[in-house]
Amino acid sequence: MLTLSGVSVEYDGAPAVVDASLAVEDGHVLAVLGPSGSGKSTLLRAIAGLEPTAAGSISWDGHDLAGVPTHKRGFALMFQDGQLFGHLTVARNVGYALRLRRTPGAAARVRELLALVGLEGYDDRLPATLSGGERQRVALARSLAVQPRLLLLDEPLSALDAGLRERLALDLRVILRAAGTTALMVTHDQDEAFTVADRLAVMRAGRVVQQGEIAEVWRAPADPETALFLGYARVLEGPPAGVVLRAAGLPGAPAVAVRRSALVVAPTGPLAGTVVSGRITPEQIRLVVDVDGVGEIDAVARLDSRPGAGDRVALAVDASRLAVTPAGR
Amino acid sequence: MRRIHVLVPALLLVAGCSTIGEDSGGGGAPSSDRVVLITHDSFSLPKPLIKKFEDESGYDLVVRGSGDAGVLTNKLVLTKDDPLGDVSFGVDNTFASRALDAGVFAPYDAPLPDGADQYRLPGDDDHDLTPIDNGNVCVNVDDTWFAAHHLAPPRTLDDLVDPAYRDLFVTPGAATSSPGMAFLLTTIAKYGEDGWQDWWATLLANGAKLVDGWSQAYEVDFTQGGGKGDRPIVLSYDSSPAFTVSGGKSSTSALLDTCFRQVEYAGVLAGAQNPKGAEALVDFLLTPEVQAALPESMYVFPVDASVPLPTEWAKFAKQPTDPYAVDPADISAHRDEWLRAWSDVTSR
Amino acid sequence: MTRWSSLSRPLALAALAAVPLAVLGVFFVLPVLGMISEGFWSGGAFDPGAVLEVLGRPRVHRVVWFTVWSALAGTAFSLLLGIPAAHLLHRRSFPGRRLLRAALLVPFVLPTVVVGVAFRELIGEAGPLGFLGLDGSAGAIVAGLVFFNVAVVIRAVGAAWESLDPRPAEAAAALGAGPAHVLRTVTLPMLRPAIVSAASVVFLFCATAFGVVLTLGGLRYSSVETEIYLLTTNLLDLQAAAALSIVQLLAITALLFVTSRLRAVPDPSLARSTARPPRVSRGDWPGVLATALVVVLVGLPIAALVAGSLQVGDGYGLANYRALTTEGSRNALLVPATQALLTSLRTAVDATWMALSLGLLVAVVVTRRSRTRSERRARGVLDGLFMLPLGVSAVTLGFGFLITLDRPPVDFRDSLLLVPIAQALVALPLVVRTLAPVLGGVDDRQRQAAASLGAGPLRTFLTVDLPVVWKPLLAAAGFAFAVSLGEFGATSFLAREDHPTLPIVIFHLIGHPGAMNYGMALAASVLLAATTAAVLLLVERLRVPSVGSF
């Protein structure tokens, strides 16, 4: 089990990670989610032994890893763009670590890994001839080859296009589960995090601001910024928050995070407002409505309704798409 | 791995070529068994002669030669506290005072052969230096050219500034060439402290050409040089006519009234590890065999008057009887100042 | 608690840099400081005033001014001719271009004394180009500088151009930019690091040129380098020599600082183009013109050389070549020219492996990603430090060797290895400049990926860096070999009489009267040129779509 306590990393005296404490249990997958520049990649590099820590400790099963160089930590690292060795074939890339350790039966293990990532028969191809998705699969197989005690994934799917990313995220989850791998994934994409991981840690400005089970974090963002980053459309504070919470039948709170689809146009809804603008998507109509007592806020309507700008509409609130948060600063 | 297999023979090949591990030229021998000669890059003697010295004296001769006489002298001066070797050959009379003033040499009174006494360095009363060879820097002319152009060749330094010889003379410069420096000294000896600069100004006004070295002047610009240039008067040596012989005649001659004598000396270095060996080498350089080999090996005349010259030298390489001379101590004291003045006159 | 990695990184850096630094320290810094301090300590007393006084002399000002402008002019013309020629020779295909590329590097190794003679046979009063009146003019000096250095530009810029990603240029063309506009707005900016690097190296070569200035300038011009030579070897005015050496070092440091700033853009040669170069078309006329000019400039003196070497008496023949196995007429030489060639080759082998191993270490150290600003600065300083040998007079270094390397533990005055070491120092900057851009272009995460898979530092290097740096390493080897074959200044100081290299033999032959010796000198020069061309052609064959720039 990986334990970080009070880890700080500095670049030239400027803090990149501040006082980060985390734990990843064996067999679990932790996603570290944060916007770019939040220090999440630095944290990952520190765990891999690529960055020196300024304070705190990183330990595995209680053993401090300070002084253990990268290649002796037994952590595999997988990059956004795979970083395959361009002059080696797929099979030799995958078998790289096996050859380093002179593992017997390497060839069979390579075939097994290629099957695991769905690339049977690719053994003799060179990385340059592969698609982006295939390259990432090879990189994953290469990382898994020696059954690392921890797999570190640095934005493993970000370089891929949307559809492929979604599919590969699911595959990744299945593969990690099948291999029983302990993993730590860094990403800025909440969908990716939700698909692959069990637990979530949110980083912002170098600090871990929240961590826990995915659903738990989702349900109760630690603060308004976290809520916005997790995909909530707006955070209402003060009287507007009260209005919305009341309409949802919930007790009052100083602030509430509202998803885009929390307000739905419904003839019997408790709220009323004037449509400011509307846009049709394949699934629904997305509106911006000036709600009485709340102000401008996002809402959705069924495709068969046709609210135009200036129309008065009634709105219902879906309580499962709200999250009560502490008030912002 | 395949690459490694290519590498191995390649590395072996490279290792085979390396000079590492090669015998470092007697460097390993104890210092009492070898003599280290520090000389310039023109030093050269037939191998059998060197062998003879080694056999007879019992010492290994190690030769360290690079640079010209100036470089050699300065090397000796800069390393006088920890000399590079035991004995030196090649310091000439234009640089000798600098070496003597610095105390580079230890006295050694070698028995001189006939006629060598006249080449002693003035002022070297302790006999630190032993004259080994001499040669004169003289203006040379292409006699065939002058015959073809129905013009009488020049004879003296004064003639060189005569408009009749406009654009015909080429000389290496004093700052960059040792014959060039000798020629500057010739003019100082001839025209005196007050007159030489004016003479040089007139010379250049008369179309004389300055180049950086002897080979540039002789091989490129001189009509009888390898490059077949177009100037029939050149600064060279008294021995040069011996090298332009064809059909029993030399096409060039040296003007014996324009000469400056250069004498090369050998000396035992102060602080030598093997002073006995050093003395043996100085004696060796004075033996008739070495003296006789000097013209062919180093293009200079022996100091031993009794040694026969090669046929072509005897016939065509006439030596001046009374060349110009400047006191070595004067050269040492004024070299800097003269060169600066010369540069100012010539680079205007 | 001490963090291992925050300490071990600088330590590892220092360990890697230790060997090259030690070599540089012993064989460069120590001798040069030794000579400079001789100037400061006159007559046993510390006297910096005398050195400073030298800097006030009008002659020194004139010399410095001439050095700067002639080197600038030489660099400018080398770029002007070299860049279009690089395009033709590296981005267009035509029969014989490899041969041409190798041949154009030949001047680089020719001894200046021979080139000077060949040049002057052409432009001298009696020569076929005598009507130009170039002999003894500053124009001749600049032409000579270009002759020697244009190949450096062609090679460095050409190599970068070859591997330039063509797509931005294609995109610009698609947006309606004409060829000239594309060149100005897209291609040249992308080539800037290579051009700046080449220009800085060429400037250094020009500013420290020695033989060219003396031979072609007809003594009317002095550069800092020739002045140091005169002051040291003739006048023994060590104060003035020290003053000028300091000027040289300061100027070079400033130059390196400026160029490192100008070069500091991500190297564009990462995105390799693998497309086959197209054939020459009408639009390539600037390249064709420049290449033709370069061929004429480089070809004529070499042709004069070859013609001279074949001249025997009034006819033509191979007698001069046959004579190369002898010791010259009247024993001009201690060893035959062929044996000197062998010595040259063996010395070059040593110089090459030394330059390569040191250069590789330096390149690795200076291109590893820096974590902190001070670390980055340290790497920058290191990078510059190894360029310095290019800018210091061989005379200073040669005398410095003699006065500083004379007692244990650095008693090297007698060592046969002194020559290859000195040559390796001269070649080192070229090696570093060839390897550093390539190593710098390797994504550091490749190395991290290897490390995370369990590969130690050495294994990581073998897996990630070596495959990339393999070909440039060979190219650098060719360069180092050629530099060593042609090096004269330091070698003439350090070579031992019984082991002369070919350039020294050539110098020797040409300095002695006798028509045969002159012909032999030319023949030996042709032999040297041919050997060099053969080595470079071999290297050329080993080069893949190239990497590497200065």
Q: What is the SS3 assignment for chain B?
A: CHHHHHHHHHHHHHHHHCCCCCCCCCCCCCHHHEEEEEECCCCCCCHHHHHHHHHHHCCEEEEEECCCHHHHHHHHHHCCCCCCCCEEEEEECCCHHHHHHHCCEECCCCCCCCCCHHHCCCCCCCCCCEEEEEEEEEEEEEHHHHHHCCCCCCCCHHHHCCHHHCCCEEEECCCCCHHHHHHHHHHHHHHHHHHHHHHHHHHHHCCCEEECCHHHHHHHHECCCCCCCCECEEEEECCHHHHCEECCEECEEECCCCCEEEEEEEEEECCCCCHHHHHHHHHHHCCHHHHHHHHHHHCCEECCCCCCCCHHHHHHCCCCCCCECCCHHHHHHHHHHHHHHHHHHHCC
Alpha helices in C92-137 (DSSP H): 97-103, 112-123
Q: How far apart are CA A292 and CA A269, in angstroms?
A: 13
Chains C and B touch (3+ CB pairs under 8 A): yes
Chains B and A touch (3+ CB pairs under 8 A): no
Identity of the highest mean pLDDT range in B45-49, B250-254, C175-179, C473-477: B250-254
Q: How far apart are CA C115 and CA C453, in angstroms?
A: 56
Yes or no: say if C421 and C31 are a contact pair by the CB < 8 Å rule. Answer: no
What does the pLDDT look like over C376-423, one tens digit per residue?
778 778 888 888 887 788 888 888 888 887 766 667 776 778 888 888
B48 vs C: CB within 8 A: no
Yes or no: say if B178 and B322 are a contact pair by the CB < 8 Å rule. Answer: no
Identity of the highest mean pLDDT range in B26-35, C138-147, C281-290, C434-443: C138-147
Smallest CA–CA distance, residue C101 to chain A, in Å, is 28
Q: Is B226 close to C38, i.e. CB distance below 8 A?
A: no
Residue by residue, DSSP assigns C123-170 as HSTTSTTGGG--TTSHHHHHHHHHHHHHHHHHHHHHHHHHTS-SHHHH
Which of chain A's residues have a Cβ under 8 Å away from the Cβ of C1? Answer: 66
Q: Is C515 close to B213, i.e. CB distance below 8 A?
A: no
At residue A212, what are phi and psi to the nearest 5 degrees?
160, -170
What does the pLDDT look like over B116-153, one tens digit per residue?
999 999 888 889 999 999 999 999 999 999 999 999 99
Q: How far apart are CA B265 and CA C236, in angstroms?
A: 20
Strand partners, A257: A235, A323
Q: Cα dihedral sign for C201, C204, C206, C210?
A: negative
Q: Is C496 close to B221, i.e. CB distance below 8 A?
A: no
H or E element in which residue A16 lies: strand A14-24
B55 vs C: CB within 8 A: no
Average pLDDT, chain C: 80
Q: Is C219 close to B176, i.e. CB distance below 8 A?
A: yes
Token digits for B237? 């040596």
Which of chain A's residues have a Cβ under 8 Å away from the Cβ of C3? Answer: 52-54, 66
Window B:167-226, CB contacts with C under 8 Å = 173, 175-176, 181, 209-216, 218-221, 225-226
Which of chain B's residues have a Cβ under 8 Å away from the Cβ of C507? Answer: 41
Window A:178-217, CB contacts with C under 8 Å = none
Residue B51 makes CB contacts below 8 A (sequence gap 6+) with: none
B228 vs C: CB within 8 A: yes
What does the pLDDT look like over C206-265, one tens digit per residue?
888 877 787 777 677 788 888 888 888 878 888 888 888 888 888 888 888 887 777 665
Question: What 3-state DSSP class applies to B269?
Answer: strand
Q: Which chain B residue has the Cα nearest residue C351?
A: B18
At residue C396, what are phi and psi to the nearest 5 degrees?
-55, -45
Q: Is C414 close to B41, i.e. CB distance below 8 A?
A: no
Yes or no: say if C60 and C228 are a contact pair by the CB < 8 Å rule. Answer: no
Q: How far apart are CA C492 and CA C113, in angstroms?
A: 13
Q: Is C452 close to A71, i.e. CB distance below 8 A?
A: yes
pLDDT the model gives residue C287: 86
With a threshold of 0.90, tell me whether the complex ipTM lies above it.
no
Window C:339-358, CB contacts with B under 8 Å = 345-347, 349-350, 353
What does the pLDDT look like over C346-356, one tens digit per residue?
899 999 999 99
pLDDT the model gives residue B307: 93
Using alpha carbons, list the distances in angstroms from residue B239 to A246, B243, B320, C507: 120, 8, 11, 20
Question: What 3-state DSSP class applies to A253?
Answer: coil
Give percent of chain B with pLDDT exceeding 70. Answer: 91
CB pairs under 8 A between A and C: 87
Smallest CA–CA distance, residue A108 to chain C, in Å, is 19
C65 vs B: CB within 8 A: no
Residue pointed to by tokens 């000097």: B294
Token digits for B170? 């080429």
Q: Is C5 close to A85, i.e. CB distance below 8 A?
A: no
Q: Binning pLDDT at 50, 70 and 90, where does residue C545 land? A: very low
Closest partner CB to C4 (pick from A11, A67, A142): A67
Chains that contact C by 3+ CB pairs under 8 Å?
Answer: A, B
Which of chain B's residues have a Cβ under 8 Å away from the Cβ of C331? Answer: 44, 46, 296-297
Hey, of A10, A70, A147, which one would you mutate to test binding to chain C, going by the most C CBs within 10 A of its CB? A70
The DSSP code for C278 is P
What does the pLDDT look like over C184-196, one tens digit per residue?
888 888 888 788 8
Q: What amino acid occupies position B330?
A: D
Hey, of C5, C444, C470, C471, which one would you mutate to test binding to chain A, going by the most A CBs within 10 A of its CB? C5
Smallest CA–CA distance, residue B51 to chain C, in Å, is 13
- Span of B55-64, B268-277, C365-374 with lowest mean pLDDT: C365-374
pLDDT the model gives residue A324: 86
Which of chain C's residues have a Cβ under 8 Å away from the Cβ of A100? Answer: 453-455, 459
Smallest CA–CA distance, residue B215 to chain C, in Å, is 5
The DSSP code for B31 is G
Q: Is B242 exposed, middle or buried (0-12, 13-18, 19+ CB in 10 A)?
A: buried
Q: Cα dihedral sign for C426, C427, C430, C433?
A: negative
Q: What amino acid occupies position C432?
A: V
Yes or no: say if C498 and B25 are a contact pair by the CB < 8 Å rule. Answer: yes
Yes or no: say if B259 and B137 are a contact pair by the CB < 8 Å rule. Answer: yes
What does the pLDDT profile of chain A (329 residues) look like in tens digits? 999 999 999 887 888 999 999 999 999 999 999 988 889 989 998 998 888 889 999 999 999 998 888 888 888 888 888 888 888 899 999 988 888 888 888 899 999 889 888 888 899 998 888 888 899 889 989 988 878 899 999 988 887 777 788 888 888 888 888 888 899 999 988 888 888 999 999 999 899 999 999 888 888 888 888 888 888 888 888 888 888 888 888 888 888 999 888 899 988 888 999 999 988 888 888 999 999 888 889 999 988 887 888 889 999 998 888 888 887 65
A152 vs C: CB within 8 A: yes
Q: How far apart are CA C423 and CA C347, in angstroms?
A: 9
Q: Is C264 exposed, middle or buried (0-12, 13-18, 19+ CB in 10 A)?
A: exposed
